[in-house]
Structure 1
Amino acid sequence: MTPQHKLDLDPEAVRTARRLAARAAEPIIAMARSHTTVSVERALLRLAGLSGADADGRPWANHLCDAVRDQVGLEHGVALPVWDALASGPHGSLRELAQAAAAGKASFRLPSGGDAETARQASRQAARGGIARIDRRRAEREAMLRQVGDPPHPLIYLIVATGDIYEDIPQAQAAAREGADVVAVIRSTGQSLLDFVPEGATREGYAGTYATQENFRLMRAALDDVSRELGRYVRLTNYASGLCMPEIATLAGLERLDMMLNDCMYGIIFRDINPRRTFIDQRFSRQIHARAGIVINTGEDNYLTTADAVDAAHTVVVSQLLNERFGHEAGLADAQLGLGHAFEIDPAVPQSFRLELAHAQLVRELFPAAPLKYMPPTKHMTGNIFAGYLLDAFFNLAGVLTGQSIILVGMMTEGIHTPWLADRDLALENVRYVRDACGALAEDFVPRPGGFVAQRARQVLAESIDLLERVADDGLLTAIAEGTFGVTRRPADGGKGLEGVVERAPGYHNPAIEILDAEDPHGAHASEQEVPA
């Protein structure tokens, strides 16, 4: 019996769920294809090589994009006005042009005729150069995997983030030496609400470390060093969410990150980012991830921190199906869809472990080729570290039994403080023991036909279909506004960043989107690093 057939799910019910998810997603996809945002336009500039910031830390990409918007608008994109200005003015580079724009000494127009064609070709060449750099970084990853080898699965995922990149690096290397296969550098609190990407190496983050291109570069180099030392490739994760999602995705591709947190609704629900802004930014960011061979991690686990994990189990599945549809449309392969879920049922609930197994096995069977990311208990962790350590062991066991691909390390001090290094060491020992002791135990875990686990899984799938029907009929933006996911209401025209959304005019030109839309992101990369399910 194959892993995807243990629950005897009705194939027609699964097909119905996917059809409904596609119908619910279609208006959002159409909106993303007919609009742009300031961050999408800035991402093009970064892809073309524009970096750096002024003395106050404001990026040149922001200065240049804002100047174009103020003078001619963004309805046609930044490409034509910017490369027309480069062709016709005294500025020898994007940075010189941005500096002049910041000083009020650059003028922009929307070119026409031969001038427009000249600008179009120049911008396409610049975008092509950036995409070629991403392609080279992807090829580097594949070479590294061949050179040092891939670790056994499930991958062990651990978070580091001191706020100081130079403190993060030795912690990340120590974590790798103790068994971590994926290191996530969690972002500084509030960065998702910044409408610019900080510049340079940073040492003063808050409950996390700022996501910057230089921080990406430093950590990637450090993990490459420890990968060679250990003889296994250690993956690097960061966060492509918030108001600069497309730009951070672009920087991740340029600096060879391996995974990125990139969920279709997390920023909307938990950071109050405007829904329209989020969905438009998301499409471009996922196109970049697809091209870069980056595995996305989605955030459905967060719903269960605000909603009941039993009552809301079906909302997780619905969001996963929507994330799958949005991901496929943007070019992501199944092996790049690190769909998230979590072990968050109150341990006091009778049969809680059986319920967890039912939910985890259902997700495994619905997405058999996806590198699922399984999140540990957090909501019901208390100051009892011994009970917490036991609960984490049950979580690790559930992950192995149901064949999860990526297991985030649970911390017994989750409910007390930011875990110390010693806590992380014990947590790694816990997950290593369970993974090694169980081996391929998933082969032997077969729920009894018609039993508790199978019936619960089918119930959650049926509830998911019912909800998808309502979402498809009423619209996803309406469902979000009504608090369907994570019991948090977010209206379509509320939240942060709506002012950065622009409807495309006829003749809109973004050469990066045109290239990414036209080309197979996986054409020459049949053996990319994507994590096997």
Structure 2
Amino acid sequence: MPTPARTTKLDLDPATVKHARSLARKAGRPIVTMAKKHTTVAVERATLRLAGLSGADEEGSPWVNRLMDAVRADVGLEHGVSLPVWDALVRGEADDLAVLAQKAAAGSVRFRLPEGRDAVRARTASRRQVARGIKTVDKRRVERERLIKRHGDAPRQPWIYLIVATGDIYEDIPQAQQAAREGADVIAVIRSTGQSLLDFVPEGATREGYAGTYATQENFRLMRAALDQSSKELGRYVRLTNYASGLCMPEIAALAGLERLDMMLNDSMYGILFRDINPVRTFVDQRFSRQVHARAGIIINTGEDNYLTTADAVEAAHTVTTSQLLNEYFAKEAGLEDWQLGLGHAFEIDPAVPDSFRMELAHALLAREIFPRAPLKWMPPTRHMTGDVFRGNLLDGFFNLAGALTGQGILLVGMMTEAVVTPWISDRDIALQNVRYVMEAAGRLHEDFHPAPGGFIVERANQVLAESIELLDRIVDTEHGRGLLDAIADGTFGLMKRPADAGRGLDGVAAKSSAYYNPATEILDAKEAL
């Protein structure tokens, strides 16, 4: 649902905001160029998934991994998987992808890079099959639009976003449905701890997970079907969120498009900073995944809130704004529209800091006004939760009030036990009561809230924007500039130092050869109607 543009309340200079975007574009453009020149094992596996390959062997290793590994062993990664795989199919090595993957795993088929007419035939066959998968993604998008029209949408923003994750998808489902009955507009099934570091997507419905539930195609399907039932029951479409991040970002994005998820956590730098995934791998994977999200009509949620869990929320406020500008550039370059940009920020200033609430308002309003049409994702306090549940519930109330005052688009429900223990269902009920009370009592309070011209809030917001521009200037300075990759390596964001030639997943990256071909990127780059 597009968010209407809002009038300025911070006296931001339009030329200054335009300059900030220009600097973000300059910082991001070399990253996009690099991403276009490389591929990864995850991009190629995502292509196989769009072509319909699924399932796993007896040991749980997905067939897309087994087939990708065999192709790579024979001809390398740099040419892509499509030409060797469909050349083998055209040559009659197998009747379909599933059989070919099984034969490849058994070592009974060899792959080659076709040339001439053989290459043309392989290109045609691969494009035809991958296009069918992308057409399914298109149909799922139309299906969402039809269901929103039939059942109705959430009656107001911010959308109330609530996490459910027991580890058991069959326990998650009734909890998610009950959360929707209690007022949640978006259900997020948080992933099992550590899944972002798995270089494969588990198969099937899962019933065991640590602090979350595994992201799998079957789990997506089951939860989507359950929330469709809830949508019909409640008379409003209930959205589903999961995580397209980590080493399998492109694959999970493809599965989300195929199963009609509505939002996905998808940040350009989160995996680099907080999971030590190689920067090149991450930027290549995130561009492909965002192209899929754009095609599927999925809203992305970015992860700037995480910076404030490791860096001071006052001193590092400008890094959040900088990252938001970069995320916006990368997202729009990949084809996402303003209404799909759930740019992240958080309520993480130490409550003991004088004027902490005024600063939180300044930061939230700054994000709201720089990105007036984006449904910003506003994250609750976690770092300064102490275990005092009364204090925590009050702090969450302040967070909710800040959201109401500044017109946030997606509000994640804060729990009074957040970051201390795993919240109980009763904690969730109290937290939802807190949200409902504040939002209903505040009404359209953001329309009446106007900070004093030249006052504390206006000055703080302009200071943070100026510091963000200063940081972007240092990154792109043609004489002394380090470039974004060097800035990441130096610990600029979240105090995490991540060099471009290190990190998990680097061995799954390759520069594209002159013979490289991928029908999925060809269709997505061209935004081609099918």
In structure 2, the residue matched to 1:487 is: 495
| Distance of 1:127 and 1:90 partners within structure 2 | 19
The answer as to 2:217 corresponding to 1:210 is no
Q: State whether residues 4 and 364 of structure 1, in contact with CA within 8 Å, keep that contact through their aligned partners in structure 2.
A: no
Code of the residue aligned with 2:515 in structure 1: it is G
Code of the residue aligned with 2:433 in structure 1: it is E
The answer as to 2:135 corresponding to 1:132 is yes
2:235 is aligned, of 231, 237, 242, to: 231
In structure 1, the residue matched to 2:47 is: 44
- Following TM superposition, by how much is the alpha carbon of 1:470 offset from its aligned partner in structure 2, in angstroms? 1.2
- Following TM superposition, by how much is the alpha carbon of 1:3 offset from its aligned partner in structure 2, in angstroms? 3.1
In structure 2, the residue matched to 1:259 is: 263
In structure 1, the residue matched to 2:103 is: 100
In structure 1, the residue matched to 2:514 is: 506
- Following TM superposition, by how much is the alpha carbon of 1:383 offset from its aligned partner in structure 2, in angstroms? 1.3
1:497 is aligned, of 483, 505, 512, to: 505
1:182 is aligned, of 168, 177, 186, to: 186
SS at match of 2:327: helix
Q: State whether residues 376 and 408 of structure 1, in contact with CA within 8 Å, keep that contact through their aligned partners in structure 2.
A: yes
Kindly, what percent of the aligned residue pairs are identical? 72
Normalising by structure 2, we get a TM-score of 0.97
Code of the residue aligned with 2:350 in structure 1: it is D
| Distance of 2:78 and 2:503 partners within structure 1 | 22
Code of the residue aligned with 2:217 in structure 1: it is Q
Q: Residue by residue, what CA displacement relative to the aligned partner does 1:297-321 show, whole Å, maximum 9, x if unpaired?
A: 0000000000000000000000000
Q: Residue by residue, what CA displacement relative to the aligned partner does 1:449-500 show, whole Å, maximum 9, x if unpaired?
A: 1011000000000000000011222111101111000011111111100000
The answer as to 2:485 corresponding to 1:477 is yes
- Following TM superposition, by how much is the alpha carbon of 1:76 offset from its aligned partner in structure 2, in angstroms? 1.3
Q: State whether residues 9 and 450 of structure 2, in contact with CA within 8 Å, keep that contact through their aligned partners in structure 1.
A: yes
1:277 is aligned, of 274, 281, 289, to: 281
Q: State whether residues 54 and 63 of structure 2, in contact with CA within 8 Å, keep that contact through their aligned partners in structure 1.
A: yes
| Distance of 1:380 and 1:237 partners within structure 2 | 26
Code of the residue aligned with 1:232 in structure 2: it is R
Where do 1:332-343 residues align within 5 Å? 332-343=336-347
Where do 1:18-37 residues align within 5 Å? 18-37=21-40
| Distance of 1:301 and 1:336 partners within structure 2 | 18
| Distance of 1:301 and 1:434 partners within structure 2 | 22
- Following TM superposition, by how much is the alpha carbon of 1:416 offset from its aligned partner in structure 2, in angstroms? 2.8
- Following TM superposition, by how much is the alpha carbon of 1:4 offset from its aligned partner in structure 2, in angstroms? 3.8
2:291 is aligned, of 282, 287, 301, to: 287
| Distance of 2:336 and 2:458 partners within structure 1 | 30
| Distance of 1:89 and 1:73 partners within structure 2 | 22
Code of the residue aligned with 2:288 in structure 1: it is F
In structure 2, the residue matched to 1:119 is: 122
| Distance of 1:90 and 1:293 partners within structure 2 | 37
Where do 1:117-516 residues align within 5 Å? 117-151=120-154, 152-472=156-476, 473-516=481-524
Q: State whether residues 339 and 371 of structure 1, in contact with CA within 8 Å, keep that contact through their aligned partners in structure 2.
A: yes
Where do 1:70-89 residues align within 5 Å? 70-89=73-92
In structure 2, the residue matched to 1:527 is: none
Q: State whether residues 36 and 280 of structure 1, in contact with CA within 8 Å, keep that contact through their aligned partners in structure 2.
A: yes
- Following TM superposition, by how much is the alpha carbon of 1:155 offset from its aligned partner in structure 2, in angstroms? 0.2
How large is the Cα RMSD of the aligned pairs?
A: 1.1
The answer as to 2:527 corresponding to 1:519 is yes
| Distance of 1:399 and 1:460 partners within structure 2 | 19
- Following TM superposition, by how much is the alpha carbon of 1:415 offset from its aligned partner in structure 2, in angstroms? 3.9
Q: State whether residues 43 and 250 of structure 2, in contact with CA within 8 Å, keep that contact through their aligned partners in structure 1.
A: yes
Q: State whether residues 36 and 504 of structure 1, in contact with CA within 8 Å, keep that contact through their aligned partners in structure 2.
A: yes
Code of the residue aligned with 2:378 in structure 1: it is Y
Q: Residue by residue, what CA displacement relative to the aligned partner does 1:196-218 show, whole Å, maximum 9, x if unpaired?
A: 00000000111100000000000
| Distance of 1:415 and 1:24 partners within structure 2 | 34
| Distance of 1:64 and 1:303 partners within structure 2 | 38
Call closer, same or farther: CA 1:214–1:438 in 2, change over 3 Å: same
In structure 2, the residue matched to 1:530 is: none
In structure 1, the residue matched to 2:64 is: 61
Runs of 4+ in 1 over 3 A off after TM superposition: none
Code of the residue aligned with 2:96 in structure 1: it is S
Code of the residue aligned with 2:170 in structure 1: it is Y
Code of the residue aligned with 2:11 in structure 1: it is D
| Distance of 1:437 and 1:135 partners within structure 2 | 40
Q: Residue by residue, what CA displacement relative to the aligned partner does 1:13-47 show, whole Å, maximum 9, x if unpaired?
A: 10110010000001110010000000000000000
Q: Residue by residue, what CA displacement relative to the aligned partner does 1:351-394 show, whole Å, maximum 9, x if unpaired?
A: 00000000000000000010100000000011110011000000
| Distance of 2:259 and 2:459 partners within structure 1 | 46
Size of the aligned set, in residue pairs, is: 522
SS at match of 1:3: coil
- Following TM superposition, by how much is the alpha carbon of 1:90 offset from its aligned partner in structure 2, in angstroms? 3.5
Call closer, same or farther: CA 1:63–1:223 in 2, change over 3 Å: same
Q: State whether residues 298 and 338 of structure 1, in contact with CA within 8 Å, keep that contact through their aligned partners in structure 2.
A: yes
| Distance of 2:415 and 2:62 partners within structure 1 | 37
Structure 2: stretches of 5+ with no match in the other structure? none
Q: State whether residues 93 and 109 of structure 2, in contact with CA within 8 Å, keep that contact through their aligned partners in structure 1.
A: no
| Distance of 2:229 and 2:308 partners within structure 1 | 37
SS at match of 1:5: coil
SS at match of 1:22: helix
Q: State whether residues 4 and 366 of structure 1, in contact with CA within 8 Å, keep that contact through their aligned partners in structure 2.
A: no
In structure 1, the residue matched to 2:14 is: 11
| Distance of 1:454 and 1:415 partners within structure 2 | 31
